[in-house]
Amino acid sequence: MIRPEPSVDGGFAPLRDRDGYPPIEDHGLIGDGATAALVARDGAVAWLCAPRFDSPPIFARLLDARRGGHWRIAPADAAESRQAYVEDTGLLVTELRGPSGAVRITDALVLRPDADLSGQQRAGTGELLRDVRVLGGTVRLRLELGAPAGAVVERGGDGLSFHRRDRPDFTVRLGASRALTGEVTELDLESGEGLSAWLRWRLEGEGRPPVGDSEATVDERLAGTVRAWRAWAARIDYGGPHPDRVRRSAITLKLLDDLPGGAIVAAPTSSLPEVIGGSRNWDYRYAWIRDTAFAVYALHRIGLSREAASFLSWALEATSRSDRPRVLYDLDGRPPPAEQQEPGLEGYRRSAPVRWGNAAADQVQHDLYGEILDCAHQWARNHGTIDPPLWQQLRALVEAAAREWRLPDCGIWEVRTPGRPFTYSAALCQVALDRGARLAESFGHDADASRWGAAAADVRRRILDEAWNDELGSFAETLGGNTLDASLLALPLRRVIEADDPRMVATTAAVERRLGAGDGLLHRYLPEESPDGVGGEEGAFLLPSFWLVDNWAYQGRLDEALELYERLCARGGRLGLLPEQVDPSTGAFLGNYPQAFSHVGLISSGVTLRKLTEGKLPRRGRRGAVRDVPAPSSG
C-alpha cells in the first residue's frame, strides 16, 4: 500500500481561492524527467506542458481560470483537502472531503518499469495516472475535463480525446476504469470503492508505441514508479537540520531535471507574477547555465554527483555552438524561442501579460564563465579527470573571463537596461580564473596555470578595491557604484572573500538593513535605486535569505542562522515546495513555482549548518569573529 507522508499540520484545510484562483502554494508538483504537472489542492491538474517542460501547455488553468483548461477529480461537495507526498518519491496524494465522504487521489507521471533516474535514459512513459479511493462515506465523484479554449473534444470508446487547432499533430487522450460519459462524468461510490483514470499524449511521428499498449496494472505502474524514485533517493547523503525538507528539495530539483539531457529547468511554469497585478511575469521553463550549475552543485553536496557530469556535458555542448555562452537554452541546448506575449490568457489573478520564450537568452552575463568552471572544478576534484576535449572548451572560457571581467553586462538579475559592471559578474570571472588555474595545475593540462593564478589574485584585489564604497560602508552592486544588491552575499560562498572579513560583515549588515523585508526576507535590489528596465515592484526573493543564513553562520551568528533556516524551511508548508518570491506582507507565494534556486539555497544552507553544528569547521560564539573558515564553493 502506498502511504503518503503526514501533512505538516496533519489536518485538512478549507478549499480557497483568490480572485477565482487557488493560491500558488496550494499546488503540488509531479514529474517524470521530461515534463511536470501541478495538481491543485481542489483535485485539478492545473498545469501540464507536454511532451516536454517547454512545450505548449495542455492545461493552463494556472494562467487563466476560464480558458486555460484543467482536469479535475473531486467529490461534488468537496469543501476541504490536504496534500502530501509518498515518502521519497515524486508521487502526490490529495485527500478531499465534504459532508458526504472523503477520497484519496494518488497522482503520478508514470516511470518505466526499468527506469533509472540517475542514468541518462528516458524515464517517463507519457502518462499521468490518477488512482482514486473512497476513504469513507458515500461520494458523488465528479470527473471534469475543462478543455482549453480552442480545443476540439471527441468521444471514442469509453474515453475522450482532444487536440488544439494550433497543434493538430498532438493528441491528448483521457480514459478511466469506468466509462466517461462526457466532459463531465459523475459517479456514486461507496467507502472502499475507487477507480483509476489516466491521461496520455501522443505527438504524431514520435515513433514510439502508445502507453496504453502496456499490460501492466495500475498498481504495478504505481509501484514501479515508487521503486524508481526510492532507488534514486537512497543515494541522498545528508544528516543535518531538517532532513525531510532537504530530501524533498533534492527530489524537487530532480523533478525539474530533463532526462537524459542533463539540463535542469529553472521552474516548470511560465508567467506566475512577481507581484499580483504586475507585469514582471517570465517564462522559466528553460535551462539557465547559472541555475543548473547551482542545482547540480547542491545535489553533489548531498551525494548526488552523477547529475554534475550530465550537466557539464550538456552545458559545454550547448555553449560550443556559438562564440560565447548564452544565458539560457532550451532543453536541446539551443536558443529558446523569441519572447512573445500570449493574448489568449489573462494571467494568474489577471496579472498580464503571459509570456512564452525569454529575451534574457540574448543578454551578456559574464558570471557564466565562473559558474561552469566552478562546476567542472568540483567534478574533477571528486572524480579526478578532465579529458582533453573538455579541457579545450574550459580553457576558452577562462581566457574569456580574463578579457571581460570588468566589462558591463546584465548581471545575475538580468536587468533590461544598458549593462553595468556588476560586482558579482566580475567576481565570477575571478572564480573562472582561479578554478582554471587549479584545474591546469592539478591535471597538467596545456595552459599557463601560474599566469591564470596570478591574474585571479590581481582581479580579486581590484574587485574588492573598486567595489568598496566608503559612503555605504559596504561593497556595492557595481564596480565604482553606490547601490546594493543581494548577490553581494554570495561573494563568500564563491570564495572571493571570507565571510568574516570585516568588509563582508559590514556588507551583510548593510544588505540586511537596506534590502530587508522583515522576518529574514530580502529584496534582491530596489528597482527605484537600481533601475532594471522593467518597472513596478516585486516580492522578496528567497535565495538571498539562504545566502544570509550562510553568512551569519560563518560570521559566528550560528544560533540566528539556525533560527532563520527554520523559518525559511517552514515557508514550504505542507509539501516542502518553495517559490521564487514571497509577498512579505502576507507570506503568499509569488513568481514561478517551484523554483530551483530556492531549493538550491535550502540544500546548501543545510549542508553548511550541518558542518558547523557537527564541529567540522571552527566556530565561536553567537556574534564572535570566525577566522580561517573555508566557505563552501557555491550558493
Residue 572, judged by CB atoms within 10 A of its CB (0-12, 13-18, 19+), counts as buried
What's the CA angle centered on 377, arms 376 and 383, to 5 degrees?
85
pLDDT on residue 158: 85
CA distance 595 to 534: 21
Residue 261, judged by CB atoms within 10 A of its CB (0-12, 13-18, 19+), counts as buried
Mean residue pLDDT across the chain = 91
pLDDT on residue 214: 53
pLDDT on residue 620: 35
CA distance 356 to 340: 6
CA distance 78 to 141: 9
Whether residue 121 contacts residue 262, with contact meaning beta carbons closer than 8 Å, is answered with no
Q: In sequence order, what are the residues at sequence separation of 6 or more whose Cβ sits closer than 8 angstroms to the Cβ of residue 126?
A: 34, 50, 51, 200, 201, 202, 211
| pLDDT (tens digit per residue) in 115-132 | 999 877 899 999 999 999
Q: 587: closest CA among 634, 490, 489, 520?
A: 520
pTM over 0.85: yes
Residue 462 has pLDDT above 90, yes or no: yes
| pLDDT (tens digit per residue) in 480-510 | 999 999 999 999 999 999 999 999 999 999 9
| pLDDT (tens digit per residue) in 209-262 | 444 445 689 999 999 999 999 999 999 999 999 999 999 999 999 999 999 888
pLDDT above 90: percentage of residues in the chain:
80
- Alpha carbons within 13 angstroms on the beta-carbon side of residue 534 total 23
Range in 305-309, 332-336, 458-462, 513-517 with the lowest mean pLDDT: 305-309
Helix (H) or strand (E) holding 128: strand 124-146
Write a three-state SS string for 287-332.
Answer: EEHHHHHHHHHHHHHCCCCHHHHHHHHHHHHHHCCCCCCCCEECCC
pLDDT on residue 254: 96
Compute how many other C-beta atoms are within 10 angstroms of the C-beta atom of residue 279.
Answer: 17
Range in 151-160, 219-228, 425-434, 514-523 with the lowest mean pLDDT: 151-160
What's the CA angle centered on 205, arms 203 and 207, to 5 degrees?
95
pLDDT on residue 7: 39
pLDDT on residue 531: 94
Q: 257: closest CA among 493, 599, 635?
A: 599
- Alpha carbons within 13 angstroms on the beta-carbon side of residue 161 total 12
CA distance 351 to 271: 9
pLDDT on residue 617: 52
Residue 162 has pLDDT above 50, yes or no: yes
**Strand 287-288 versus strand 328-329 pairing type:** antiparallel
| pLDDT (tens digit per residue) in 512-537 | 999 999 999 999 999 999 999 998 89
- At what angle are helices 306-319 and 367-383 packed, to 10 degrees? 140
Residue 592 has pLDDT above 80, yes or no: yes
Peptide bond before residue 618 is cis, with ω within 30 degrees of 0: no
pLDDT on residue 628: 29
CA distance 464 to 491: 10
What's the CA angle centered on 327, arms 299 and 499, to 5 degrees?
55
- At what angle are helices 243-255 and 218-233 packed, to 10 degrees? 110
Strands, E assignment, 499-562: 516-518, 521-522, 540-541
Residue 550 has pLDDT above 70, yes or no: yes
| pLDDT (tens digit per residue) in 14-65 | 999 999 999 999 999 999 999 999 999 999 999 999 999 999 999 999 999 9
Q: 395: closest CA among 376, 419, 408?
A: 376
Helix (H) or strand (E) holding 143: strand 124-146
Compute how many other C-beta atoms are within 10 angstroms of the C-beta atom of residue 476.
Answer: 22
